[in-house]
Amino acid sequence: MSVSRLAVVTGGAGFIGSHMVDILLAEGFRVHVIDNLVGGRLDNLAHLQGDSRVQVEVRDILSVEAGDALFSGAEYIFHFAGIGDIVPSIDRPVDYLSTNVQGTVKVLEAARSAGVKKLVYAASSSCYGLASVPTAETALISPEYPYALSKYMGEEAVLHWGKVYRLPVNAIRIFNAYGTRSKTSGAYGAVFGVFLAQKLAGKPFTVVGDGTQTRDFLFVTDVARAFFEVAQKGVPNEIYNLGAGNPQSVNRIVELLKGPVIHLPKRPGEPDCTWADISKIQAATGWKPKVSLEEGVGEMLRNIDYWRQAPVWDPASIREATKTWFAFLEGKNP
C-alpha cells in the first residue's frame, strides 16, 4: 500500500487553514496541523475527528525548530499561522512582529530542514497601503500599521529563504477573505464576523464611513483552492495577489444580510477600495474564483450560529477599541 503524501498547515484550526486541511484531504494528502488556538478553534476540525490522516499539535509556531518532527517528510507547507487581527496591532506591535516575523522564520527553518517541495505563505494585501486600483503585484509597498508591516516582513523573510537557501516558496497576498469558520475571538476585526454577531443579537450593523467603500471579497474555499493550485503550479519565489477581482461595497453586504445600520467615523489608514489584479495567479495556475458574494453570504447565514458566542460590538465599544488607532494614524498625541 502506498503512503499518501504529507502536507503541513500552520494555523490549521483557523479560518482559512481549516478549509486548507479539507482540500488537502480531498486531494489525497495526510495533514499535520499546528495551531495555538488563540485564533483557531478545534471545532473547525471537529468533522475530521477520528480521521487518522490528520494529526493536530496544539502549540505556538515560535516553538518550531529545524528538524521538528511535525514537518518531517512534508511535501508542502501552507503557512497561515500568525496574529491576524488588524486593529489591535496598533497597541501590540511587539507581539505582532514576534509572531508574524520570527514565527515565520521558525517555520522556514523547519521547512528547509525537511526539504519540502514548496512553502506557500499567507501574505497580506495590507502591505500596499492606500494603493491605486486595480492593484498589481508591482505596486508600491506602503504598510500603514503594525499588522501590515509584520505580514510584509514575514513575506520578505519567505522570499529571502527562497533566494539564499534555495527553498521553493510562494507568497500569496490575500485581499479580503470571508466565509464560514471566520474568527469569533474578542478582538474587533473583520466586517463579516462583526455583522453576523450583531444580527444574531438583534443589533444594528456598525458601518464604518458611509458604506460605499469597496472590498475585494473572496470566499474562503476559493482562497484555499488558490493556495493548493499555487503549491502545484506557482513559479518558485513569486508573489501572487489573491482576490475575486470584483470589489463589492459594504452597503451591498448590509443589503444581503438585511438589518438596520449605524454609521461610524471612517478610520484613517484604510483604503476606500481594495481591488486585486489577479491576472498573474490566473496565468500561472488557471485558478479562478467560483463562489459569488451572494452565494458566500448565503452560506454564512446558513451557518450563522457559529458566531453566537462572538462579542457584539456597538459604537461605544468600537470607539474604545480603536481610540489608539485614531490617535496614531491621524497623527495626534495618544
End-to-end CA distance of the chain: 64
Of 24, 40, 41, the C-alpha closest to 32 is 24
Report whether the peptide linkage leading into residue 134 is cis, meaning its omega lies within 30 degrees of zero.
yes
Beta-carbon contacts of 306 under 8 Å, excluding residues fewer than 6 positions away, are: 180, 181, 184
Residue 85 near residue 189, CB atoms below 8 Å: yes
**205-208 and 261-264 strand pairing:** parallel
Active site residue 76: no
Per DSSP, helices labelled H in the chain are 15-26, 93-97, 103-114, 146-164, 191-200, 220-233, 250-257, 279-285, 293-302, 315-329
- Residue 169 to residue 108: CA distance in whole angstroms: 9
Neighbours of 49 (CB within 10 A): 9
From the candidates 76, 96, 121, 147, which is the catalytic residue? 147
Beta-carbon contacts of 156 under 8 Å, excluding residues fewer than 6 positions away, are: none
Residues classed as catalytic: 147
